[in-house]
Chains A and B, each alone.
Chain A
Amino acid sequence: MTEQSEVAENSSLPKLTSLARSSIQILAGILGNFVVKRFLFFLFVVWIAATVIFIIPRLSGQDPVKEKLLLEAQRGGAMQTGLDEMAKTYQKRFGLDQPLWTQYVNYISDLARLNLGVSIAFFPRTVNDIVFESLMWTLGLMGTVTILAFVLGTLAGAFLGWPRRPGWLQYVFMPLLTLSAIPQYLLAMILIFIIAFKLGWLPLFGGYSPSTLPNLSWDFIVDVLRHAILPAFAIIFSAIGFWAIGMRGMMINTQGEDYMIQADAKGLKGSRIFMRYAVRNALLPQVTGLALVLGTIVTGQVLVERVFSYPGIGDILFQAIRLSDFFVIRGIVIVIILGIAGATFLLDVLYPLLDPRIKVRNT
């Protein structure tokens, strides 16, 4: 840090108080810090994505509100007449008549305050209410299940890639391979057909039985769990294969490394070599892999929710598409991107804990 202080001293500014000088050092320290850099990048990604989402509808010259109204008219909705004034009031209401730049500034400032605007189809309700309510369901089921699939898949892959593994494991490999090739929502259909329809053990769709009202009673929770099992299985079975195969490849690569030979030469116990040397090193690319495929994971789950009409964010997205409720669609897309960019940021920050070679402080 010495360079910074010298610069501050002989700069032409009047004699700096020690407070000013140390604050420069602290600032340089903070801004140079790895975590802050990743957070700045996270904001950058979200800003670019938001801008792209803002620009796409303006490209086609279509006005989202008028297009929605035309669709309503097409379906022979009640408001056959007076489409133009209705469009005008809507446009004023959503500020679409102002010049593009001010619209953009309002949009970004709203976004900064996490206000995603107002829904067209369910007019008085704000997008925030609709989205965040369904977000609970999605995070509750999908979040936990994805992590579970990642952990189970990585463990299976670790054993599959280890020469001294239990014998029966290789026969598990071929089914895992085919399972990982089937998209999640198709697996969901198969599960519904066999378990729900044919055997009738579990409910066919929905987040909870339609007759009950959401309350915190015990039997409601059991009801929710019964509905969640099939979607959870759909995701876990298709994801486990993907993670296992990835981890198996990493394990095989790691065993070619020099430090594995040296571990044997040290006469270490098999279990220690497996856990502390092979798996511990093979985990690093696996975690980076997780960050890369977050996007496809989320899309897969949106479709699973659609197949099960599970009241998560995916189902709401589907309804919004059917009703072409533009602002809800835009809100959901932004929330999903926020989630993915946020998860990537988290993984970036946690990665140095796994791999000491990544410099965290800038000293």
Chain B
Amino acid sequence: MAESFASSDSMNPSSNGGWNQFNEERITPIKKYALRNPSLIVGMALLFGMLFLVGIGHLIWDTEMFRPLSTPTRLPPTGEHPFGTDTQGRDLLAIAILGTPLTLRIGLIAGITAISLGTVAAFLSAYYRGVIDGAIRSVVDVGLAMPALLILILVRINVGRELSTDEMGIAIGLTSWVFPARTIRSQVLVMREQAYVELSRLSGTSGMGIIFKEMMPNLIPYITASLVASVAGAILASIGLEAIGLGNFSQPTLGMTIYWNIQFSSITLGMWWWWVPPLVAIVIVFVSLFLISSGLDEWSNPRLRKRV
């Protein structure tokens, strides 16, 4: 008989109905929790702060200058070109303003593809067990042994032409869904053994009803944490792909900027202003995503760990 002090303090719900009640039950616990979860706050602040700056950039800066030969070459940061220009005459501020959201877009597309595929596979194999479970599990195990980047390299070469950013996002998503599939499947397996799932089935709820009404709500914090992790992984893969020259040469993404830096070995030319901004942008993206995902992990885990 665990002596749990927490469960005995009864929070009395407010009785007036409607929005206020919804707010009371659903939002305040989240708000109250969020305040106690620093890494989530800092992560969000970093990410949205950067996007906000990029947004302003779109308004006040002529982003057309991201095309090659639109500015004099190799200019260090000056009043006219605050971020300087590269060897092919691109304005690096325009590149930063357009590039960051573009890379995030690839990451998001890939993350969402990976999560939806992973969640479906996780539910299919964990809830319905049997042959489906065996098949999906072996696909996942093989997927883990085949790094997504290498497969993308093969795919990219055989497609023969440059992938658009959206196509790259989907391609990365299709090759990295095994990671979320594996983690979400283990959570569904744990949840499936809980008594309230069995009770719901005996109350006449259908299989689908159980998945969406009983299991999904508890999984949401966990799935969002996996989504953020997948986005970060996808961005890493996309930059990697672009850095070895398999990206889309006409797109000013962060990865392509890194590629040009390596290609023209900007370091030996001493053009620090060429590789520092993309580097800073990438670090901010990764650190913020990492903080958000560890914040969400903590939020999803105590609830599940308390049950399991």
Contacts and interface: CB of A to CB of B under 8 A. Distances in A.
The answer to whether A and B touch directly, with their CB atoms under 8 angstroms apart, is: yes
Interface of A: 41, 44-45, 48-49, 52-53, 56-57, 59-60, 62, 64, 67, 177-178, 180-183, 185-186, 189-190, 192-193, 197, 204, 292, 294-296, 298-299, 302-303, 306-307, 317-318, 321-322, 324, 326, 329-330, 333, 336-337, 340-341, 344
A190 B138 CA distance: 40
B78 interface: no
4 smallest CB-CB distances across A and B, nearest first, come from A295-B147, A181-B286, A299-B149, A181-B287
A183 B150 contact: no
State the main secondary structure of chain A at its contact with B: helix
Interface string B136-166: 0010011011111111011101111000000
A296 B283 contact: no
Given A52-B146, A183-B239, A183-B286, A321 B158 contact: no
B35 interface: no
16 contacts: A45-B145, A52-B151, A180-B290, A182-B282, A186-B282, A189-B261, A193-B272, A197-B268, A204-B267, A296-B147, A302-B149, A321-B153, A322-B245, A330-B154, A333-B150, A337-B145
Nearest to A58: B158
Given A56-B154, A193-B267, A299-B150, A49 B279 contact: no
B160 A307 contact: no
Given A182-B283, A182-B286, A186-B279, A318 B244 contact: yes
A197 B144 contact: no
Classify the secondary structure of B's interface with A.
Answer: helix
Contacts of A56: 151, 154-155, 158
Residue among B145, B240, B243 with max Cβ neighbours from chain A (10 Å): B145
B294 to A, nearest CB: 8
A39 B214 CA distance: 40
A184 to B, nearest CB: 10
Contact of B158 (A59, A192, A317, A333): A59
B57 to A, nearest CB: 22
B307 to A, nearest CB: 15
A329 B157 contact: yes
Contacts, number: 125
Contacts of B239: 183
Given A182-B283, A193-B267, A306-B244, A333 B142 contact: no
A284 to B, nearest CB: 15
A181 B240 CA distance: 15
Interface in B182-207: 182
Most buried by B among A64, A192, A299, A306: A299
Among B150, B237, B245, B286, chain A packs the most CB atoms within 10 A around the CB of B150
Most buried by B among A180, A189, A341, A344: A189
B275 interface: yes
Contact of B267 (A197, A295, A333): A197
Contacts of A321: 153, 157, 244-246
Contacts of B41: none
Interface residues of B, number: 42
B262 interface: yes
A350 B245 CA distance: 39
A344 B145 contact: yes
Given A44-B138, A177-B290, A183-B239, A337 B150 contact: yes
A294 B236 CA distance: 15
A333 B153 contact: yes
Contacts of A204: 267-268
A341 B145 contact: yes
A233 B116 CA distance: 37
Contact of A49 (B145, B236, B267): B145
Nearest to B138: A44
A295 B146 contact: yes
A57 B145 CA distance: 20
Contacts of B282: 182-183, 186
Interface in B214-270: 233, 236-237, 239-240, 243-246, 258, 261-262, 267-268, 270
A344 B147 CA distance: 13
Contacts of B283: 178, 181-182, 186
B6 to A, nearest CB: 16
B158 A62 contact: yes
B261 to A, nearest CB: 7
B144 A295 contact: yes
A340 B142 contact: no
Given A57-B158, A299-B147, 20 more contacts: A44-B138, A48-B142, A62-B160, A177-B287, A178-B287, A180-B290, A181-B283, A182-B282, A183-B236, A185-B240, A189-B261, A204-B268, A295-B146, A296-B233, A318-B245, A329-B154, A333-B153, A337-B145, A337-B147, A337-B150
Nearest to B150: A333
Contacts of A344: 144-145
Nearest to A53: B154
B141 to A, nearest CB: 7
A321 B237 CA distance: 17
A60 B244 contact: no
Contacts of B158: 56-57, 59-60, 62, 64
Contacts of A296: 147, 233, 236
A326 B142 contact: no
A298 B145 contact: no
